[in-house]
Amino acid sequence: MGTINRDMSGAWRARYRDPSGKQRSRNFPRRRDSEQFLTSVDHSKATNAYVDPALGRITLGSWVKDWRKGVVHLRTSTLARDDGYIDRYLLPTFERRRLADIDHADVRAWVAELSARGLAPATVLKAAQIMGKIMAVAVQDGRLAASPCTGLRLPHIERREMRFLTPGEVAVLAAVIDPRYRALVYLGGYGGPRIEETFGLRSTRVDLLRARVEVADTLVEVSGKLHFGPPKTRAGRRTVRLPRVE
């Protein structure tokens, strides 16, 4: 247990030693607050959950830059999407805030504010998920004891019923489109690949004799540059059979 003293300004100073033996202190307006803080420090040291307060003083804006350097498992298009969400929705509110100063109430109010602005539930959900990923890595890095995003209630997304074109509608669309793109209409109408899978289809993956195509690549545009890559998931690599169209 540490010690508590009152300084000349009237603040209550809680002194304690961290797990390495270094002496630290923190001021509080009330003695009760300092007592509760020392109790929490003792508990965190006993459970090996102690976090150096200095590590949490980094601003979210600076932490995002560090976090971004370690993201190596996402596709180029996904990274570009996440960067866009961070720039538009996270940084305007939290860029200058220190990680340790962002609590659950702050994040909850931020989510409510995004919803109040009329953003789609899916947009709010994705922004909150990215915030959660950033904070989760801060916990793993020892900068926070717990993520302020844990237990966050997010907007519910209503799934709309999918509409599929009838064979007649596919034929009409193929008839009026530029002949150069007619094959894309039939492929999309009967094969159902994602648009990036359609654009990434190579001639070597097309088997006209057996009326099938192999979905193995995607093509996306990010910041004016084209990027080839694998399908979104491992199961996304597949062979699609197509009906013969006269």
Kindly state whether residue 147 falls inside one of the protein's structural domains: no
Q: How far is CA 220 from CA 71, 217, 225, in A?
A: 19, 10, 8
Burial label, 210 (beta-carbon count in 10 A; 0-12, 13-18, 19+): exposed
| Structural domain count of the chain | 3
Kindly state whether residue 227 falls inside one of the protein's structural domains: yes
The runs of H, that is alpha helices, within the chain are 31-46, 60-69, 76-85, 91-94, 104-116, 121-140, 167-176, 182-191, 195-199
**pTM of the complete model beyond 0.75:** no
Kindly state whether residue 17 falls inside one of the protein's structural domains: yes
Query: What's the gap between Cα 220 and its chain centre?
Result: 19
Classify residue 59 by its DSSP letter.
B
What confidence tens digit (pLDDT) does each residue in 109-152 have?
Answer: 999 999 999 999 999 999 999 999 999 999 999 899 889 999 99
Burial label, 167 (beta-carbon count in 10 A; 0-12, 13-18, 19+): exposed
Please spell the DSSP secondary structure of 89-156, one letter per residue: IIHHHHTTSBGGG--HHHHHHHHHHHHHTT--HHHHHHHHHHHHHHHHHHHHTTS-SS-TTTT---PP
What confidence tens digit (pLDDT) does each residue in 53-111 have?
Answer: 888 999 999 999 999 988 877 778 888 899 999 999 999 999 999 999 999 999 999 99
Kindly state whether residue 160 falls inside one of the protein's structural domains: no
Are 132 and 193 found together in one domain? no
Are 135 and 66 found together in one domain? yes
Kindly state whether residue 162 falls inside one of the protein's structural domains: no
Q: Which of 140, 159, 192 is the last residue of a domain?
A: 140
Kindly state whether residue 152 falls inside one of the protein's structural domains: no
Are 8 and 75 found together in one domain? no
Q: Which of 105, 124, 140 is the last residue of a domain?
A: 140
Up-side HSE of residue 72: CA atoms within 13 Å toward CB?
2
What confidence tens digit (pLDDT) does each residue in 27-46 have?
Answer: 888 999 888 888 888 887 88
Q: What residues make up the domain containing 10? A: 3-50
Are 84 and 136 found together in one domain? yes
- Helix (H) or strand (E) segment spanning residue 27: strand 23-28
Are 64 and 34 found together in one domain? no
Kindly state whether residue 148 falls inside one of the protein's structural domains: no
